[in-house]
Chains A and B, each alone.
Chain A
């Protein structure tokens, strides 16, 4: 009995137990028995209901002509009008393209960065060095983009920036990175890596710590070198973690963090840096076209959901656990 209880708490692991038919009565008894655990669950449930589900109701204004005076109920239904407006506007497609492009870059360069970093850190023998490096790598994650944005602009300044001064030593003409539509996405991705790669290593390091040390020992006995060990033990060991994070990342394909873009953006690179979040900010918050902005958000959310579903399925086909 007690082992079953434990399994139920772990949720997914309780599959065999669930196949045993249960009467409603005994279910209730279980709930009663675990009542304190359910009480602990309540605040979390309340949070999700109030802040995640009740607010979904607000999405209806994507199908209405929302007016403050009329409220969400009272506003007139317009069906898919706002979606038609969106899909007919060049801007929307342009913004969508930018968003996807930046996210593809993200997937290609920023997503693997913490994995590589974690593998490297994992091989460091001197504990104090490892810790020091880790702490330094975490640091940028706690700095706001407002500050990081300012730092990046001054580091990359063609007249006073360090980067251009270094390039100058090699005889390279100063480059105005921030206003070049070629360089701007590069700066954007590199700054993402700078800010979050260190933080991202945490979860991989944890996964690596869970790998059975016996495997490494056995490999060593068989004469496997460092690289072989990484390839055949460490990487397969964190494969599941990578898969889960990949699925989660796919959910963000339609999204580029507002603060990051907003703080690095300037008028000269607007055409490559205008993404869905800045677009929503402009039409929704600045121009008060709430319905249109909600339609964009809804569209973004639905596509994100579809991507997560597809990738999750694919990952499972490939033999990983996936999200559910």
Chain B
């Protein structure tokens, strides 16, 4: 589930493999205490036991709170709310990106800045980025979830709402908000993403800085050296990769080049070429169908098998679960084609450190027998913030949101004027990229809402004098421009909120991942692999789920544009 829905967030996640690993490790070690018992089970039991004990204490409270919220006259409630302390707890993605000298996710210069300037005291609860599903579930089930729950995964919002863990927010916006209310009126396109089936809004979000996401980088210096031109079709990409493999592009006299390095984007991009992203729904002739059964998916399987057989990718990718080997291949100059995404600053600068002459380009969308599909285009909304049912002071929450969208997002994006940036022609230009990366870049995580717009011109203008930064900005601009000028096929803007599907999605994902890996590494034909996937789908009750998704689609297709 996690992966499927978060594919829309690859953007942020794959860059920080390092941090994910750390986060995961922390998470696992936390789980270690229960090792004597049945680890996973006892974790679950612990969570459930927590509820058992806490339910007794908290259910009374919440019931009366809800009743008040429902029945209390607005004015009464407002005054009651005003007398409450302006405090709120909120979740924050932990990507392990806060440097030791900066403090922690709970306490650093930016959390202090928020507390000093927003008029709201915020306690942050870190959620390991790669374990959000289990972490959120445990916190919610044990009644310890923060008051504001921020996620990129809309499916969580759907589930939390149906579980009754979060509450609708229309009234709060109406009553307390000014700035965010105005922002939402300016951007009505956000509303469908925030509104659930019951017609109520359950989350707060602003627009994404850019909707670009996945990208392929290529060593332009290698292309030049071997006299090759930029590939425009998938077949040409294969030819280029073979040339990289055979013709010693790095000139070290050894045939040690592994042409293509992966990240979480590898599956995504190779699926997207053929308009069949694993696990997503498509509409073919008015019928909803899982990507695997579109008839196009075989082509993606074939490509991955070919890449493995021809040694165009690392043969040990299967055990490289965090993609650390892959990243190393790229940053040490052993790979020439990198399946990555728009936020790749670290890997790019690491490569530059190892090989100052490395010259990079962005591979344009590639043509296949099915036409040319663009790179992934994100949903318009950024982070989704939901309000816990036990939220004590909604006014404080709204105040924080209003402050963030008004002014708070700017320092959290650019840093402090004079220290991290300088205004030039109305655009904040970063002074020292390294300093910015350490002291400011992690702060963007705290922007529950923001108004940053990453246009190509803006990205280029923001980069400082340093030629390296300029190059990176140029690459980014190209990616953003590509995302704007090519169509990306996405038939469902978000996962259809159908319970029959979401209950089997995680289990199904485990299956198709296995079949995919096996198909890539062995000689089984794509048709056989798809047959296996279909069998797994059917044994999980996939046909029923398809029927339900079809019904949902038929009822909602006018809204899905």
Distance in Å from the Cβ of B131 to the closest Cβ of chain A?
A: 9
Q: How far is the CA of A144 from the CA of B31 in the complex (A)?
A: 11
Chain B 49-76 interface residues, beta-carbon cutoff 8 Å to A: 49, 51-53, 55, 59
Collect the chain A residues with CB atoms within 8 Å of residue B315's CB. Answer: 158-159, 176
Complex Cα–Cα for A293 and B43 (A): 11
Neighbour of B321 across the interface among A69, A257, A266, A276, CB < 8 A: A266
User: What is the size category of the interface that chain B forms with chain A?
Assistant: 35 or more
In the bound complex, do residue A277 and residue B539 qualify as a contact, i.e. CB atoms below 8 Å apart? Answer: no
**In the assembled complex, A23 has its CB within 8 A of some CB on chain B:** no
* B52 in complex: contacting residue of A58, A89, A284, A287, CB < 8 Å: A58
Contact B39 A257 (CB under 8 A): yes
List A contacts of B41 (CB < 8 A): 255, 276-277, 280, 293, 296-297, 300
A203 is an interface residue with CB less than 8 A from chain B: no
Minimum Cβ distance to chain A for residue B500 (Å): 12
A188 interfacial contact with B, CB 8 Å: no
Closest A residue to B58 by CB, please name it: A71
Contact with B along A173-207 (1 / 0, CB 8 A): 00010110000000000000000000000000000
Q: Would you call B513 an interface residue if the criterion is a C-beta within 8 Å of the partner chain's C-beta atoms?
A: yes
A267 and B318 contact, Cβ closer than 8 Å, known pairs A69-B164, A72-B55, A287-B505: yes
Residues of A289-324 at the interface with B, using a CB-CB cut-off of 8 Å, are 289-290, 293-294, 296-297, 300
Report the bound CA distance from A300 to B39 in whole Å: 13
> Could you tell me the dominant secondary structure of chain A's interface residues?
helix
Q: Does B319 lie within 8 Å of A270, measured CB to CB?
A: no
Given contacts A67-B164, A176-B315, A290-B141, contact A282 B38 (CB under 8 A): no
A67-B164, A90-B539, A271-B514 as given contacts; A281 in contact with B134, CB under 8 Å: yes
B99 within 8 Å of A (CB atoms): no
Q: Given B38, B51, B321, B511, which contacts A255 in the complex, CB threshold below 8 Å?
A: B38
Across the interface, B1 reaches (CB within 8 A) one of A267, A281, A286, A300, namely: A286
**Which residues between 80 and 127 of chain B lie within 8 Å of chain A, taking CB atoms?**
none
B32 CB-CB contact with A under 8 Å: yes
Whether A294 lies near B48 (C-beta < 8 A) is yes
Nearest CB of A to B538, in Å: 10
Q: In the complex, which residue of chain A has the Cβ closest to the Cβ of B55?
A: A71
Known: A68-B140, A153-B319, A257-B35. A282 touches B49 (CB 8 A): no
A212 on the B face (CB < 8 A) = no
| Selected contact of B40 from candidates A146, A277, A287, CB within 8 Å | A277
A144-187 toward B: CB 8 Å interface, digit per residue (1/0)? 11100000010001110000000000000000101100000000
Contact of A58 among B49, B134, B503, B507 (CB under 8 A): B49
Q: Which of A70, A158, A274, A288 has the most CB of B within 10 A?
A: A288
Check A72–B32 contact: CB distance below 8 A. Answer: no
In the assembled complex, B517 has its CB within 8 A of some CB on chain A: yes
Contact A258 B137, beta carbon cutoff 8 Å: no
With CB as the reference atom, state the residue of chain A lying closest to B24.
Answer: A146
Give complex CA distance A153, B38 in Å.
24
B434 CB within 8 Å of chain A: no
Q: Which of B31, B321, B506, B540 contacts A282 (CB 8 A)?
A: B506
List residues 480-534 of chain B with CB under 8 A from any CB of chain A: 502-503, 505-507, 510-511, 513-514, 516-518, 521
Contact A179 B521 (CB under 8 A): yes
CB-CB under 8 A for A285 and B48, given A266-B321, A277-B40, A277-B41: no
What is the distance, in angstroms, from B396's C-beta to the closest C-beta of chain A? 23
- Asked if A277 and B513 make an inter-chain contact with CB atoms under 8 angstroms apart, the answer reads no
Q: With a CB–CB cut-off of 8 A, which chain B residues contact A267?
A: 318, 513-514, 516-517
For the complex, give the distance between the alpha carbons of A69 and B162 in Å: 9
| Neighbour of B521 across the interface among A91, A144, A268, CB < 8 A | A268
| Most chain B Cβ neighbours within 10 Å, of A178, A268, A276, A285 | A285
Q: Inside 8 A of A268's CB, which chain B residues have their CB?
A: 318, 514, 517-518, 521
| B163 with A68: CB separation less than 8 A | yes
Give the chain B neighbours of A259 by CB distance below 8 A: 28, 31-32, 35, 39
Is B366 in the interface zone, CB < 8 Å from A?
no
Give A91 to B28 CA distance when docked, in angstroms: 25
Judged by a CB distance under 8 angstroms, whether A278 is at the interface is yes
- Cβ distance A160 to chain B, nearest Cβ, rounded Å: 9
B59 interface neighbour in A67, A71, A179, A294, Cβ under 8 Å? A71
Given the known interface contacts A68-B163, A267-B514, the answer about A157 and B316 at a Cβ–Cβ threshold of 8 Å is: yes
Q: Does B25 sit within 8 A of A, measured CB to CB?
A: yes
Asked whether B48 lies within 8 Å of A274 as measured between CB atoms, the reply is no
Contact (Cβ within 8 A) B53 A54: yes
- Supply 4 further A-B pairs (C-beta < 8 A) apart from A157-B316, A288-B159: A68-B140, A146-B29, A268-B517, A290-B141
Some 17 contacts from A to B, beta carbons below 8 A apart, are A57-B52, A58-B48, A67-B163, A67-B164, A69-B163, A69-B164, A72-B52, A91-B540, A153-B319, A158-B316, A176-B316, A257-B35, A266-B319, A270-B510, A285-B47, A287-B505, A297-B45
